[in-house]
Structure 1
Amino acid sequence: MSTREDQLLQTVGTLADSLVDDFDIVDLLQLLVDECTSIFDAAAAGILLLSPAGDLEVIVSTSERSELVGLMQVEAGEGPCVEAVATGQVVSVEDLREVGGRWPKFADDARRSGFASLHAIPMRLRNSILGSLNLFRDRPGVLNEPDAAAARTLTDIATISILQQRIVEESLTTQSKLQHALDSRVVIEQAKGYIAQSHGLDMDGAFRLIRAHARSTQTRLSVVAEAIISGSLRL
């Protein structure tokens, strides 16, 4: 097995080991681009991610130069990285001096960047496209199929990790809201019991009284219930 293959496997293992409960996405992606520069003999690497608003943003890079090229494409609204995200396909540009016909707005910036070739691999899982991993080289040349396959493997791991964290965060948000609802219900039941006893009402009557006050004052039921229990509100 070659040294390059060893490094690829080691990177896969490192990325997998990084997926602990409290892992940081930026740290993970920075590790990915740092390793990609040596694995794929790239001068630099960077990642563009789609924001919640749908805008592409540079999230990590290995150099100011590669970050600038990413920003140039975002501002121009075109370029290999933008196209990779839009199509979900690998976009390999073997010579950045010959992109004028394809991306005229980006062409001049590409030539001034000093990079000779650029290869964009979409961060995609099924129909979800999160961004792109972008490899910058100082020499012209295509991204051969073994390199493209290896790069896709690494981006798949990063993509799955981001989606996994989003699911966890959404789940935690849902659980938090559910727990808050359950806690609020307990407080409301306690307030109903207090009003029922203090006003000589049944539980339904007590709840109607609490609800009427909440509606008239445009206050949440749980807030009214907490005030009743604490003694700061008397109906």
Structure 2
Amino acid sequence: MTVTTRELDMSRAVLDLVSRPADLDVLELLYDLTAYAAAFLPVRAGITVLDDGGDVAYLTASDELCRRFEQDQLDLDEGPCLDSARTHEPLPVALLDSEQATARWPRFAPRAVAASITAVAAIPLHTPDLMLGALNLISTGPPLPSGRDLHLVQVLADAAALALTHRRDIVGREETIRQLQTALDSRIVIEQAKGVLAARLQVTMDASFTLLRGHARATQQPLTVLATRIAHRDIPDALLEKTR
């Protein structure tokens, strides 16, 4: 049997997610999970989580369309990602222009279709004793994810969950929950930093996030630390030089 390039890349992605150090950055881990999902499938990806009050909130998004997709569900309090996170159940590929989808999500489904979002699927994200939320896969056209695709992405989600389980075993369940809440708070700072970069560099929000993450990795600093600095209008010269 010949091993394909995609299979090799998937193996490396699983290894990367599962082998994070004990002091892993939860937000970085989950951003990487969404990035891998979007890289291996023709989808956009995001993560919704249950916060410490039991409410659903979006944590990561691979791009601005995905972020708006997740935010719309929160604003309307209905949608497939909310259902999956609340019920702890996977969601097979759902066509949002179908009668079933419109009946189930009467306000959200038409809004998503108007934004050119055609289908969504959701994969549970959990540790053995803690339901974290869902990894959401968003399609804007064919091809749609197959059942095999969803199984592959579940492997990625499980790898990330194993890294979090290792972290939980060291710091405890309550500390893991606290770190997820901190990640939710950090997401707000990252959104602010994206806006500052987009305005200063005259680039899209998606491009500003790519620059933000790339610089954080290149300089080996936590994404949140860099985002906080930029949110306060302190933009590193190296980032300014990238668009000159």
TM-score range, shorter chain: 0.5 to 0.7
How far residue 121 of structure 1 moved from its aligned partner, in angstroms, is 0.8
What secondary structure does 2:117 align onto?
coil
Amino acid at match of 1:51: D
| Partner deviation per Cα, 1:101-155 (whole Å, 9 max, x = no partner) | 1111212221122222111111134563211001112215653221111111111
Deviation of 1:77 (Å):
2.2
Q: Secondary structure at the match of 1:47?
A: strand
CA distance in 2, matches of 1:102, 1:21: 41
Aligned residue number for residue 150 of structure 1 = 152
Q: State the one-letter code of the partner of 1:71.
A: Q
Deviations 1:190-214, CA, capped at 9 Å, x for gaps: xxxxxxxxxxxxxxxxxxxxxxxxx
Distance 1:33 1:171, change over 3 A: closer
SS in 2 for 1:162: helix
User: Matches of 2:139 and 2:81 in 1, distance apart?
Assistant: 14
Partner Cα separation in structure 1 for residue 67 and residue 24 of structure 2: 23
State the shift of 1:11 in Å.
Answer: 0.5
SS at match of 2:113: helix
Number of aligned residue pairs: 171
Structure having greater relative contact order (Cα 8 Å, sep ≥ 6): 2
Q: Calculate percent identity across the aligned residue pairs.
A: 26
Letter in structure 2 aligned against 1:151: V
- Which secondary structure state, in structure 2, belongs to the residue aligned with residue 101 of structure 1? helix
In the alignment, the residues of structure 2 paired with residue 127 and residue 110 of structure 1 have an alpha-carbon distance, to the nearest angstrom, of 33
Superposition CA RMSD, Å? 2.2
Distance of aligned partners of 1:61 and 1:9 in 2 relative to their CA distance in 1, 3 Å threshold: same
Equivalent in the alignment of 2:223: none
Partner of 2:192 in structure 1?
none
d(CA) in 2 for partners of 1:45, 1:151: 11
Structure 2 match to 1:120: 122
Distance 2:162 2:52 in 1: 17
Question: Quick check: 31-40 or 138-147, which moved more?
Answer: 138-147
Extract unaligned runs of 5+ from structure 2: 176-244
Q: Which runs of 4+ in 1 moved over 4 A?
A: none
TM-score under structure 1 length normalisation: 0.66
Alignment partner, residue 70 of structure 1: 70
Report the structure number with the largest CA radius of gyration: 1
Q: Distance in 2 between matches of 1:127 and 1:15?
A: 19
- The structural deviation recorded for 1:8 is 1.1
Q: CA deviation at 1:3?
A: 1.9
Q: Hey, what does 1:25 align to over in structure 2?
A: 26
**TM-score (structure 2 length as normaliser):** 0.63
Alpha-carbon distance in 1 for matches of 2:87, 2:55: 15
Q: Take 1:83 and 1:142, find their aligned partners in 2: how far apart are those partners?
A: 20
Map residues 39-188 of structure 1 onto 2, 5 A cutoff: 39-42=40-43, 44-98=44-98, 99-126=101-128, 128-140=130-142, 142-170=144-172
Counterpart position of 2:228:
none
SS of 2:33 mapped into structure 1: helix
2:36 — aligned with what?
35
Which whole-Å CA distance do the structure 2 matches of 1:139 and 1:112 have between them? 13
1:85 is displaced (CA, Å) by 1.6
